[in-house]
Amino acid sequence: MEIKGKSALVVGGASGMARATAEVLVAEGARVALLDLPSSKGEEAAAALGAGTRFFPCDVTDFEGTEDAIARACDALGALHFSVNTAGGGIAKRTLAKEGPHPLDAFRRVIDLNLIASFNVARLSASRMSRNEPDANGERGVILMTASIAAFEGQIGQVAYTAAKAGIAGMTFTMARDLGSLGIRVMTIAPSLFHTGLTRGIPPAMEETLTKDAAFPKRMGRPEEYARMARAIFENPMLNGSTIRLDGGQRFAPK
């Protein structure tokens, strides 16, 4: 699908991989709405992007609030063709530790933040995209979710995060089948360690240790590399129903 003249919803767009994706979309002539936490620098990000970019405060674990924010954002955009969601996070807790079994509430919070919120954004985006007139190729929109290579080889203490991200990867193909008759594609990117969030600005020596098992390049990913992959997904109609590892050949060690 051609990016120019289209409308995009970028969840987590105040920083990191989502903001880099928003920058690419704006540069290619798309209209963009950013969603992120009220405490984020979303207003500053929208102002920096320009081109009429607007920010809509949203906590993705507030599912009703997310529905309202997406509705307002899509109304402001006038339509929705691309949906990108990078919001997520995890905790470090083993299934069984010295203090006892993994707390269920903590497990649920990670599932809510990553898996349930991703599905919520996707289902609401699909509803909006279904209203579009199909383009010359029969496309109405593209939904892009974000997993992690932890979905495939999670480390010790990542059981909740692994379950959540594996769920995102697992539902990608089925969702693509669900939405195929509408001309809506669904893809997921599974990054390795990227310079975002808690890992942004870590010392070079620590980065070298964390990425020593990568094939090449032996470094953390950069937000713009996620954005380049997102652009390729949006523009290539044959990319559908798959999870793409974006990891430089990295395989997480047990810990």
47, amino acid identity = A
pLDDT at 255: 87
CA distance 157 to 165: 14
Tens-place pLDDT, residues 106-115: 999 999 999 9
First to last CA, the chain: 40
* Annotation says 161 is catalytic: yes
pLDDT at 226: 98
pLDDT at 122: 99
pLDDT at 163: 98
Q: How confident is the model at residue 198 (pLDDT cuts 50, 70, 90)?
A: low
Catalytic residue among 56, 107, 161, 226: 161
Instruction: Locate all alpha helices (DSSP H) within the chain, ordered by sequence.
Output: 16-27, 42-49, 63-77, 104-111, 117-129, 150-153, 159-180, 204-210, 223-235
pLDDT at 199: 76
Interaxial angle between packed helices 42-49 and 16-27, expressed in degrees from 0 to 180 and rounded to the nearest 10: 20
Mean pLDDT of 233-240: 98
Residue 62: burial class (beta carbons within 10 Å; 0-12, 13-18, 19+)? middle
Q: Report the SS3 class of residue 23.
A: helix
Domains in the chain, please, with CATH? 7-246 (3.40.50.720)
Are 23 and 46 in contact by the 8 Å Cβ rule? The answer is no
* CA dist list (Å): 57 to 54, 65, 87, 143: 10, 9, 13, 20
